[in-house]
């Protein structure tokens, strides 16, 4: 994707634009394996706020510039110098970062290459889809250092794998390699080194296959109605935990925001005229 352009949010976060509608949100603190410091958390929140307001962005892909890690979680070197008051003051900053990813209104895909641990895995869990390659190692090891997953892990992981499996993973603090992570549903797709869907025998070396595959998925998703995509995400997210009747009401409300939109009119017209839709995005 040679047409990518880049915007910086401080030293450690960047947003690359691929064409008009795919935004790649890059964790770019390679000297610390993307450990999330207070400054990095603030800039991640800033980037998410800008993307949330960007009507042109139809899909966001979260990636890493580090060759061996997506993100290793909280910056424990920074925290080692914290007093209790320092830690209390930092908490709103880190919550804003994780919430910023979780609340992005468009579909989001995490491309996990290498280590995604603690807060790093929680960033991935905050996305709608997780693509990993065979270098991936994921986990929530927080109880092993005297805390608990505080970036959404205790809530997002059970929604993916069920309460008992999530409890086992959180309580043991164990690391999970790519094949088991895929089998357990911790990640949604395994990509081989050629960027395929994991059906071959590649070992994930020779490049970031997760990023390649995630950007391919993003291109496919971005071809669809931006109004429809955002409404579908709302329906999927807001109905979690509701009974069927309440969930159907959430779906109906989301449907109404699309049914009378310019995108719906354009989609029907394009279908009947046998052409590619030119989505107005409203």
Active site residues: 74, 119, 122, 142
What is the DSSP annotation of the chain?
-TT-EEEEETTTEEEEEETTTEEEEEE--GGGTT-B-HHHHHHHHHHHHHHHT-TT--EEEEEES-SSEEE--B-HHHHTT--HHHHHHHHHHHHHHHHHHHT-SS-EEEEE-SEEETHHHHHHHTSSEEEEETT-EEE--GGGGT---TTTHHHHHHHHH-HHHHHHHHHH---EEHHHHHHHTSSSEEE-TTS--S-S---S-SS-HHHHHHHHHHHHHHTS-HHHHHHHHHHHHHTTT--HHHHHHHHHHHHHHHHTSHHHHHHHHHHHHTS-------
């Amino acid at each position: 994707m040679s047409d990518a352009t880049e915007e910086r949010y401080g030293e450690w976060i960047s947003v690359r634009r691929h064409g008009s509608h795919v935004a790649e949100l890059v964790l770019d603190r390679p000297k610390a394996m993307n450990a999330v410091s207070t400054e990095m958390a603030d800039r991640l929140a800033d980037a998410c706020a800008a993307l949330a307001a960007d009507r042109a962005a139809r899909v966001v892909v979260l990636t890493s510039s580090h060759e061996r890690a997506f993100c290793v979680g909280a910056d424990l070197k920074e925290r080692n110098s914290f007093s209790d008051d320092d830690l209390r003051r930092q908490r709103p900053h880190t919550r804003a970062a994780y919430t910023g990813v979780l609340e992005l209104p468009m579909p989001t895909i995490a491309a996990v290459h290498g280590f995604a641990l603690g807060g790093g895995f929680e960033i991935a869990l905050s996305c709608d889809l997780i693509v990993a390659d065979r270098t991936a190692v994921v986990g929530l090891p927080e109880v092993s250092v005297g805390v608990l997953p505080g970036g959404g892990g205790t809530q997002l992981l059970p929604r993916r794998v069920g309460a008992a499996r999530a409890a086992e993973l959180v309580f043991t603090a164990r690391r999970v390699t790519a094949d088991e992570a895929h089998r357990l549903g911790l990640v949604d797709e395994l990509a081989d080194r050629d960027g395929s869907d994991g059906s071959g025998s590649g070992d994930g070396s020779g490049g970031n296959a997760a990023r390649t595959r995630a950007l391919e998925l993003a291109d496919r998703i971005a071809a669809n109605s931006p109004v429809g995509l955002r409404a579908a995400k709302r329906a999927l997210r807001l109905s979690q935990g509701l009974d069927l009747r309440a969930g159907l009401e959430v779906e109906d409300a989301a449907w109404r925001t699309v049914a009378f939109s310019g995108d719906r009119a354009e989609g029907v017209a394009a279908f009947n005229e046998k052409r590619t839709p030119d989505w107005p995005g409203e």
